[in-house]
Structure 1
């Protein structure tokens, strides 16, 4: 068993929150343009980025990976 721990991902919920009027009230304050500066990779994940991690984990290529937490956050928690 493995787990995928995604970082901030450009989903409709996140996009709606960033399009709101009071960005300072959000747990993730600021605009996507400023928020991404805290991500070493330099961009917010797309859903396809997280899906690719999951696709790898269910493929035979990951057959020797088990009991791992895979963090897919562009390096934000590094």
Structure 2
């Protein structure tokens, strides 16, 4: 019967996430850093409490988004344009 060789990465993964990260950091630190940075945004979005998002939404509702249409120059009805 042939014995199966387990790769060091798979062996580290079986021990847990911390040994796997230590092994990966020793081999490819750039990939580990990019994976950690790439996972921060989704994790912070999932971990942010709903009270914060409710506050952001209420603050956005307070900002006006409909502005009056400026009066165009019409000869005889309005004064001459001052910005020309």
TM-score between both structures, scaled by the size of structure 2? 0.21
TM-score between both structures, scaled by the size of structure 1? 0.22
Greater share of strand residues, 1 or 2?
1
Using CA pairs below 8 Å that are at least 6 residues apart, which structure has the higher relative contact order? Answer: 1
Max Rg structure: 2
